[in-house]
Structure 1
Amino acid sequence: MSLPSQSPAQTCRPRPAPASDALQQPVRLHLAAVIQEHREAAGEYSKAAETLWTRIGQALEGGKLTRPRLVLLGHEAFASPAAGETESAERLQRVIQLGCAFELLHGSLLMHDDVIDRDFTRRGRPTLSALYRDDALARGKTAQDAEHAGHSAAIIAGDLLLAAAIKLARCAADSLPAADAIENSFHQAIHHAAAGELEDLLFSLGPVPAQVHEVLRMEKLKTAAYSFQVPLHTGALLAGADAAGAAALANIGSQLGVAYQLIDDILGTFGDPEQTGKSIESDLREGKSTILTAMAAATPGFSTHLQLFRDPDADVPAMRSALEAAGAERFARQLAHDLCAGATSASRTLNLPVNVSAELEEFADLILNRGA
């Protein structure tokens, strides 16, 4: 990644903003600048920390930048068409900064998630954990000690990204009337994601899968809040939306986010790993409670199969067949469809700008057709 230099003082200072139809490029450039700033600062006091920031930057490369797009969408839903060119440019720069804050938060949560799930690959690439694990192996450490070193480095990296995300979110809202509301919403996303991750962990320790309503709550907390709900909410607040309007838009994001995670559950069991980059065995082998296992567990006659989901040596194809026979995939897809239909219906009720409603409907279509 080519990283343009930028001083700490420049990070919070609005710069000339590009056109809104070119959001991806300025977001990537600003992310690169933030990483470069931290890498250079770390180089003043720790070579190891400088290397860590270099690897963090590599880990954040790519991605679809869905969260910045949703921040922009939330902003466009309530932006004043009468705003002057200077004001519009400043607001767009704030959107870019806030979108980057969500990307840093996403990176932080993924770093920690890799530790929780004991994963060393993501989307077919070695994780930051894997890089430090391999460094330790090259120094002659045992596999156990090397894995511990890798996960330890990932925890540190996740903490650094979280701190950077919070700072950048505050920068984006600085001096706005809604600054406190935006900061509180961003913090809520962090707390909800942590609660959802904890519930996911605890559900995996239970003797049977969690119930459907418990899984839906967990997925709303763990994924929907920081990836869909809060980006729309804070984007709307950036534009000057009132509390009720921003909350209504956030609710649409919550429905889309839960639908996204439901489809993710399906792809994690019935998808094509070559196409999705997701294992179709890890969720089942780890005893994770997904909408599939929750729905199947509530089906009469399925109790005889429950022991499969707490046996690490269980036959995964047999587990998948049991879920299929219970109609779990069909149930999950219908539920995701209903959530997306509710979200798009609500967007029309809010009388949002035509382009915003169209993009929300596009998000719904993309969610439902993932892996197709």
Structure 2
Amino acid sequence: MTTTAASAGQGLASGPPHAPRQEDLATPALERFLARGRAQVVDEHDRALWEALHGLTDGGKRFRPALLMHLHRALGGRDHHVASAVADAIELLHTAFVIHDDVIDGDEVRRGRPNVGGTFAGRARATGASPERSHHYGEAAGILAGDLALAGAVREIALCGARRDVVVRLLDLLEEVLHRSAAGELADVRVSLTVEASLADTLDIAEWKTAAYSFELPLQAAAVLAEAPEDVVVALGAVGRCLGVAFQLQDDLDGVFATAEQTGKDPLCDLREGKCTALITVARSTRRWEELAQYVGDPDLTADGARRARELLTACGARRAVEILVRDLREAAVAGTAALPGTAREPLLEMIRLLLPRTAPSTAAAPAEDRTRARTRVRGAA
């Protein structure tokens, strides 16, 4: 299913002033955004910036728009043109966050190819610029491209064609998400400055950075567009928080324990970066950390070193503790669907099954002391 599969002849509800024309809404929001940008380019460098943006919006899993569109239909929503525009706007918001996240992390590669920053850093190097100046140019391009995508997402929601009160409600949701995502990014950088972050801190970051815009926003936006009762909107927010945090924790586990074929990324990357994930936070509280610390955050970590790090993360109970937390959050998300109308429950349960397949926690042996300490930390933060 695509997020833009809407009938071109379907009527629109009365929208806010300056709402897009019917024929405009037949064009997907992402295409409109890119077409407007290309039509206004001022030089070849500006054109390259929009080409880089287009590259980031092409492909990807697009599960956020899929969440919105599936649930919108399940809740009885009828105006799929409008829902499609908002779904595409949320994907554009995701693009903006991805670009800015790469700038914050200093990354120049995404999905195995240069990202916006990497593209423009490469262009600068080709002219003979120094590595430092080239990297700075790439960072500038990333910040600006992310700003353009963010402004485009806000514009698409504001002019999606929904009634004025619905648009205001959607913009309120968006404003809250932007606030929480900014707080999450700042916290993510802050906890990397020290080793004192708690498990509660890492769970908050997962909620603010991932759950808020990837799950809560599309689910709640679907309900608002379908004019569902407020208690349904609230219930979907709770489901989205549990699902989003579980999704991020599982992604952290996969980043260390899954293969490159399974994740599409270097299995040494997360360990080399030494990011303060729940997995690392739990491990840091165990007696195995003294040995494990030499591997986590080592930019020159070898495959053998990574293998030993995985053994220690399993032996100290950290892996099992996080797997249990993923399972508990998944079950909480499933339980939360009971508050939804019957027609919406099954599609959402199916999405949960797809995004978080049910797996049993690791049964690898761990010292009793380590297991107890790890589980205590998880329970205290849940």
TM over 0.5: yes
Pairing 1:150–2:147 present:
no
Q: Please give the alpha-carbon distance, in whole angstroms, between the structure 2 residues aligned to 1:160 and 1:331.
A: 40
Identity %: 34
Deviation per residue, 1:233-262 (Å, 9 max, x gap): 111111112322211112111111111101
Inter-CA distance 16–310: structure 2 relative to 1 (3 Å threshold): closer
Query: What is the rounded CA distance, in whole Å, between the counterparts of 1:156 and 1:236 in structure 2?
Result: 32
- Return the offset for 1:162: 0.6
Aligned residue in 2 for 1:323: 313
Within the candidate set 167, 170, 173, 1:179 is matched to 167
Residues 329 and 363 (structure 1), Cα distance of their counterparts in 2 relative to 1, 3 Å cut: farther
Residues 259 and 205 (structure 1 numbering): CA distance in 2 closer, same or farther, change over 3 Å?
same
Q: Could you list the runs of 5+ residues in structure 1 that have no partner in the other structure? A: 1-8, 19-25, 81-87
Residue equivalent to 1:12 = 20
Q: Distance in 2 between matches of 1:72 and 1:218?
A: 27
Q: Tell me which moved more, 170-179 or 312-321.
A: 312-321
1:316-336 alpha-carbon deviations (Å, 9 max, x no partner): 444333212112222222211
Q: SS state of the match for residue 79, structure 1?
A: coil
Tell me which amino acid in the other structure corresponds to 2:338: R
Aligned residue runs from structure 1 range 297-308, under 5 A: 297-299=284-286, 301-305=287-291, 307-308=293-294
Aligned AA (2:239) = I
Which residue of 1 is the match for residue 112 of structure 2?
124
**Does residue 341 in structure 1 map to residue 331 in structure 2?**
yes
Distance of 1:16 and 1:138 partners within structure 2: 40
**What letter corresponds to residue 61 of structure 2 in structure 1?**
K
- Report 1:57-68 matches (<5 A): 57-68=54-65
Query: Secondary structure of the equivalent of 2:342?
Result: coil
Aligned to 1:6: none
Change (3 A) 1:119 1:342: same
Report the aligned-residue RMSD: 2.6
Displacement, 1:371?
A: 11
Paired residue type of 1:13: R
Q: Does 1:54 align with 2:54?
A: no
1:165–1:370 Cα change, 3 Å:
farther
In 2: Cα distance, 1:320 partner to 1:70 partner? 33
Aligned 8 A contact 1:337 1:368 in 2 = no
Can you list the C-alpha shifts for 1:349-370, whole angstroms capped at 9, x where unaligned?
Answer: 32330xx322222222223349
Question: Residue 331 of structure 1 aligns to which amino acid in structure 2?
Answer: A
Q: Retained in 2: the 8 A contact 1:173–1:182? A: no
The answer to whether the aligner puts 1:78 opposite 2:66 as a matched pair is no
What does residue 235 of structure 1 align with? 222
Of 334, 339, 345, 1:357 maps to 345
Say whether the 8 Å CA contact 1:344–1:357 is kept in structure 2: no
* Structure 2 partner of 1:207: 195
Pairwise CA distance, 1:17: 7.6
- Cα deviation 1:192-247 (Å, max 9, x = unaligned): 11111111111111134x22221111100000110011111111111112322211
Is residue 189 of structure 1 aligned with residue 197 of structure 2?
A: no
For the 8 Å contact 1:73–1:232, the answer to whether it is kept is no
- Runs (4 or more) in structure 1 with deviation over 6 Å come to none
Question: Letter of the aligned partner of 2:148 in structure 1?
Answer: L
1:260 corresponding residue in structure 2: 247
My pick for the range that moved more, 46-55 or 248-257, is 46-55
Counterpart in 1 of 2:31?
32
Give, as a single letter, the amino acid of the residue that structure 2 aligns with 1:63: G
1:295 aligns with 2:282: yes
Aligned residue in 1 for 2:263: 276
Q: Give the Cα–Cα distance (whole angstroms) in 1 for the partners of residues 109 and 211 of structure 2.
A: 23
Aligned equivalent of 1:108: 96
Separation in 2, partners of 1:188, 1:330: 33
- Residue identity matched to 1:155: I
Question: How many residues in Structure 1 have an aligned counterpart in Structure 2?
Answer: 340
Distance (whole Å) between structure 1 residues aligned to residue 19 and residue 119 of structure 2? 29
- 2:8 aligns with none
- CA change 1:333–1:255 in 2 (3 A) is same
1:180 Cα deviation (Å)? Answer: 1.5
Q: C-alpha separation between the residues in 2 aligned to 1:190 and 1:276? A: 28
Q: Which protein has the bigger helix share? A: 1
CA gap of 1:16–1:128, structure 2 versus 1, over 3 A, is closer
Distance 1:173 1:340, change over 3 A: farther
Distance 2:359 2:50 in 1: 33
Distance 2:22 2:315 in 1: 56
TM-score normalised per structure 2:
0.81
TM-score using structure 1 length:
0.83
Q: Give yes or no for contact 1:16–1:93 (8 Å, CA) kept in 2.
A: no
- Find the aligned partners of 1:54 and 1:370 in 2 and give their Cα distance: 39
Correspondence for 1:83:
none
Judge conservation of contact 1:17–1:92 (CA < 8 Å) in 2: no
Q: SS at the partner of 2:211? A: helix
Residues in 1 aligned to 2:358 and 2:49: alpha-carbon distance in whole angstroms: 33
